[in-house]
Structure 1
């Protein structure tokens, strides 16, 4: 009786992305952070669509559990910038807005609008309304007269016309937007929420970043330093770039490769009462001068001063200049 030839099986080849998952997930003793070059290569594969969905989820959650290092954030950013091909557009401030507000209205939008009226070129970018119960920048662009742009040409035109533009993350980095949109599938925000704040796609003179969770501010400052960017990182109200006047504000800065820190005291002797609800019409009322409210006025003046500090103005003069800008604003929308 003839015997069937023995079945010959080959070990499946390991997926090229598997080593990056293994580095992060090898256990307490074996796991480590990625080097800058490893992070650059891993993010390049993610952006080029060379990763399975299971690998993507595992990679993002392992990073989230471990917490990103400055080298990883810098490497991820370099991978994106290499693929971005953004045109040369003159920009003063890169202003990421990804968190949304739930305790107070987004007064930072009035700060940005007032700065733009005074010649400061600002790019806002965000990732959409990904968490219920929050008010996002994208929802307020039209009533505040802030241009919504879908490509870099429109951004350039908006900046030349009024010094202020908003572009959704999905318009220039759809792969990252997809990762952010996994939030409700994975049950947690991924590290992409943090990464989006550091990208500074147009190479602005200064990047402003708000990182809510303690300990991350210095990591972001160090990552920007590795990239050679000038930044100020704060723990902004609700995770947005907005100074809370009821609390001290620590500035984590890096300028010309030199790190610095600055402590700003609280601006109010007593804490303000949180509003019972968020009515976007209040933004317009405060801008037009129809309502005078100490919390938003303190918040937006301090936020303007923060931005001016990032552009090189000393703190005291920055507050004085911010107040002059606000007092002389064009109140029409």
Structure 2
């Protein structure tokens, strides 16, 4: 079978085309990740899906097949994908939130690729998060530090190549969503940020199809899982395997934007507002892990995690 079969299914025209089933999507992804996929067919398939709009069944099938081709990664408690392109990215305060969750005793695996935006990878060391250059290095970091960042190009080179087709096609494809749904360490909980609100339900539905237990998706800062502390934030996902909707209440009274992309910032000198971003985002992640007193725990952990120069 070639990708042409799936291109025909998606592109026959009004009244004749249809979405892929989950099994068809898994089969298509297996071909796309292999060495013999015709590049023209890969581009056609991805752009037809973009025009149509992906379904939860398609995303679940793609993610299932992509995960199945990966080597073993040690199990983590919390999956934290980071794939926003950075067009509205301010300071990556959520990295400190992830570090705090690890400080609370939960193994956290971050993974991602952010295009030409270097803020996130540049900020990892300041947040106390090591970058794993291999799967073995990720295992070592998780065992020693309780947290690791695994770049997509090291974690899944074939999927990375599909993601980078954005540079050729000029448009985002569903591969960005598939990466968010990869959950490489088979964590029982995941936190995800999106830029477009419609993807919150799509990813929640796909997670349920995949049998995930706990997931929180929010419209976050720059498309990352980062909570605005001065707004009530709508949240979607799953809890103990069932679809779930909830919210995170405002923590402070302020009218400023979450991030000013062109503004200067110092990750070692967070403002009071920035500290609320950090502790509020950590609280949302801890709540996803099932912690009942998540906000109190986050408020207690932040002073200990605060960058030394900001103390």
Q: Structure 1 length as normaliser, TM-score?
A: 0.86
Structure whose alpha-carbon radius of gyration is higher: 1
> Aligned ranges for residues 56-71 of structure 1 at < 5 Å?
56-71=42-57
> Aligned ranges for residues 94-109 of structure 1 at < 5 Å?
94-101=79-86, 102-109=88-95
List 4+ stretches of structure 1 deviating above 6 A: none
Q: Is the 8 A contact 2:84 2:114 kept in 1?
A: no
Residue 173 (structure 2) pairs with residue 219 (structure 1)? no
| 2:38 aligns with one of 2, 27, 52 | 52
> Aligned ranges for residues 1-333 of structure 1 at < 5 Å?
16-87=2-73, 89-101=74-86, 102-130=88-116, 134-229=117-212, 230-272=214-256, 274-275=259-260, 277-279=262-264, 282-286=266-270, 293-314=271-292, 317-329=293-305, 331-332=307-308
For 1:195 and 1:136, how far apart are their aligned partners in 2?
23
For 1:269 and 1:66, how far apart are their aligned partners in 2?
41
- C-alpha offsets along residues 33-76 of structure 1, whole Å, 9 cap, x if unaligned? 10000001000101112311111111111111111111111111
For 1:326 and 1:107, how far apart are their aligned partners in 2?
12
SS in 2 for 1:61: helix
User: Which ranges of structure 2 fall in alignment gaps of 5 or more residues?
Assistant: none
SS in 2 for 1:196: helix
Q: Is the 8 A contact 1:241 1:303 kept in 2?
A: yes
User: Which ranges of structure 1 fall in alignment gaps of 5 or more residues?
Assistant: 1-14, 287-292
SS in 2 for 1:79: helix
Give the 3 Å change call, closer, same or farther, for CA 242–84 of structure 1 in structure 2: same
Q: Which residue of 2 aligns with 1:12?
A: none
Q: CA deviation at 1:141?
A: 2.5
Equivalenced residue count is: 306
Q: CA deviation at 1:295?
A: 2.1
For 1:122 and 1:225, how far apart are their aligned partners in 2?
21
Q: Is the 8 A contact 1:100 1:137 kept in 2?
A: no
- C-alpha offsets along residues 77-132 of structure 1, whole Å, 9 cap, x if unaligned? 11112211314x231111001114435211101111222223221111112424xx
Q: Structure 2 length as normaliser, TM-score?
A: 0.92
Q: CA deviation at 1:208?
A: 1.0
Q: CA deviation at 1:256?
A: 2.5
SS in 2 for 1:285: coil
Q: Compare 78-87 and 63-72 and name the one that shifted more.
A: 78-87
For 1:57 and 1:184, how far apart are their aligned partners in 2?
12
* CA RMSD in angstroms, aligned pairs only: 1.9
